[in-house]
Chain A
Amino acid sequence: MRAMVYRGPYRVRVEEKDIPPIEHPNDAIIRVQMGAICGSDLHLYHGLVPDTRVGTTFGHEFIGVVHEVGSSVQNLKVGDRVMVPFNIFCGSCWFCARGLYGNCHNTNPNATAVGAIYGYSHTTGGYDGGQAAFVRVPVADVGPTLIPEWMSDEDAVMLTDALPTGYFGAQLGDIVQGDVVVVFGAGPVGLYAAKSAWLMGAGRVIVVDHIEDRLEKARTFAHAETLNFTTVKDIAVEMKKTTDFLGADVCIDAVGAEADGGFMQHVTTKLKLQGGSPIALNWAIDSVRKGGTISVVGVYGPVFSAVKFGDAMQKGLTLRMNQTPVKRQWPRLFEHVKSGVLKPSEIITHRIPLEHIAEGYHLFSSKLDGCIKPVVIPSAS
């Protein structure tokens, strides 16, 4: 089969690989119909996630058709069309039993601090991902769900990670009616977070980024006010001014470890002297009001980051964060997509054949050609 493989920082190619075999009685093998590249994949692509091995296949957002099932699989059969959450989770451990599907204890031997994710280095379990013609889906009775008749393929792919994560980010903000919500990052996650903040009753939503195409999308898709951070001298002062010097009620970090806007933070992150440049997180801490809430869905590496913890303490902030338990979000999000309140596929800008995925990574990473969300199509090769 054809599969994307990692070759080293900033380098990927498409190779011939064996179709993955059943390794566990509850495995399924899925023939991928559509996948996507996520902002999280860029952290891997940039060589910033520890234990990213050459030859592994990325991709944790995909939908497809069941090709083969293991002997204990009861809920799926060959030919079913399924969407697969990015978390690999057992359903039965202490954490899964309490709904923390992003923190499963039975599927990632490599780390206890991180759940298991498809195609996301050995730090999240050493699984190959779905930027390929076929993919092994472990614990097949728990994660995958049949794609409803009425749902489009592109909406289904957005529901495997980006949309639930944006919605979850807004949820972690514990928004109450009339809250001023500031979203850092206008990538797919930030755009969906901004849109979701309105559903929870926000009174104002402000999106901060420096890429104009994305800020434009924040205005049209997410109905938000926008701020290009390169146009102001000091984000904290700007946010105080616009809130009559109170500060925002809720700030959402949808940027993560590779935030721009501070040169030394950036270089020290790339040099791996810290686990992530927490510029956006620090801006959130500075911009939120005292007693406010910070929601972090941006991803950081496992070693220390220079976070302004003292300010967070002095201000009495609530910090909430996690990997999204995707399947827990689905019932409510399915309703919103069905009713038309959310139209997730509207942010897709590029449809890339698997064979051209190296160019897809380059455009998405360098943010060229107005790229906001690329989907990957194996059969178009």
Chain B
Amino acid sequence: MTYTAAKPPLPETPEQLRARIPGWGVDLDPADRPSSPKLDFRDDLTGAHWEFPDRQPEKYPRERSMEHKFLTPVFGTASPPRGVSGALRTLSYRKFSEADVAHWLILMAADRVDSMGSSFTSVLRGKPDNPITETGILGEFKARPIRDRFGRGRADTKHQWMDPLIVTTPWVLRAGVVYLVAKGLRARRD
């Protein structure tokens, strides 16, 4: 009982558990658990045959966190920054550390600019976005959209329909506001 020193009784004994559940207790001993202790020095370096990895050639000015001493020797080269979103991203890495929330907010803004801008340029490039196929909504026909969603105690169906809107709409609105302000400023200057 909790209000005394004894642990509340369990419904099954170890013997019953062992009989019911394949493998019950095989890793009871912490020595058999691979991540204990947390920090465990490994001399083999799991196959690394260097003290410090060779440096990957930097083919364009690679953005990096200012909390790093230098560009890491290995890095990804997918989708280098480009256009307005790229300028925002570069700015965010150059001006703000990871500890500064502005860093992340600018990156999130750049993501929305990127996806809106890309929808636009995809038309120019002759590979327009197709909202029907890209959202995978046709997959609904393979499922039972009503039965799978309702009358079975799910908590997410109340908001599922509006999630894409919540994620994208405020940015559309904010972009609109920025546009109007810029236009107003220019009108005043002219």
Contact = CB atoms under 8 A, between A and B. Distances in A.
B14 A210 contact: no
Contacts, number: 326
A358 B135 contact: yes
A23 B77 contact: yes
A291 interface: no
Instruction: Classify the secondary structure of B's interface with A.
Output: loop
A367 interface: yes
Contact of B75 (A11, A109, A113, A342): A109
A359 B136 CA distance: 4
A138 B61 CA distance: 20
Contacts of A106: 52-53, 72-74
B62 interface: yes
Interface in A43-76: 46-48, 50-57, 72, 74-75
Interface residues on B, range: 35 or more
Contacts of B72: 105-109
A178 B7 contact: yes
Interface string B74-115: 111111000001000100010000100100110110111011
B118 A7 contact: yes
B156 A210 contact: yes
B155 A204 contact: no
Nearest to B1: A244
A24 B34 contact: no
A231 interface: yes
Contact of A125 (B41, B76, B137, B166): B76
Given A91-B45, A92-B53, A204-B11, A368 B143 contact: yes
Nearest to B93: A110
Interface in A203-245: 203-204, 210-212, 223, 228-231, 243-245
B10 to A, nearest CB: 4
Interface in A182-203: 196, 198-201, 203
Contacts of B20: 223
Contact of A212 (B2, B22, B53, B152): B152
A284 B131 CA distance: 38
Contacts of B136: 12, 357-363
Contacts of B134: 7, 11-13, 358
Which of A11, A98, A261 counts the most chain B CB atoms within 10 A?
A: A11
A328 interface: yes
B10 A204 contact: yes
Nearest to A138: B74
Nearest to A342: B23
Which of B64, B111, B170 counts the most chain A CB atoms within 10 A?
A: B111
Given A99-B40, A271-B166, A340-B22, A198 B17 contact: yes
28 contacts: A7-B115, A7-B129, A8-B115, A8-B116, A11-B129, A13-B134, A46-B163, A53-B114, A106-B73, A106-B74, A109-B62, A109-B72, A113-B67, A141-B47, A171-B35, A177-B28, A199-B27, A200-B27, A210-B155, A244-B2, A260-B156, A267-B166, A303-B101, A330-B34, A357-B136, A362-B136, A362-B140, A363-B139
Interface of B: 1-3, 7-8, 10-12, 14, 17, 20-28, 30, 32-36, 38-42, 45-54, 56-57, 62-65, 67-68, 71-79, 85, 89, 93, 98, 101, 104-105, 107-108, 110-112, 114-116, 118-119, 122, 127, 129-131, 133-140, 142-145, 148-149, 152-156, 158-160, 163-164, 166-168, 170
Going nearest first, the 8 A-B pairs with the smallest beta carbon separation are A8-B115, A362-B136, A91-B48, A359-B139, A126-B76, A341-B23, A127-B76, A358-B136
Interface of A: 7-13, 15, 23-26, 46-48, 50-57, 72, 74-75, 88, 90-92, 96-101, 105-113, 116, 122-123, 125-128, 138-139, 141-142, 168, 171-172, 174, 177-178, 180, 196, 198-201, 203-204, 210-212, 223, 228-231, 243-246, 260-261, 263, 266-267, 270-272, 301-304, 325, 327-333, 336, 339-342, 356-363, 366-370
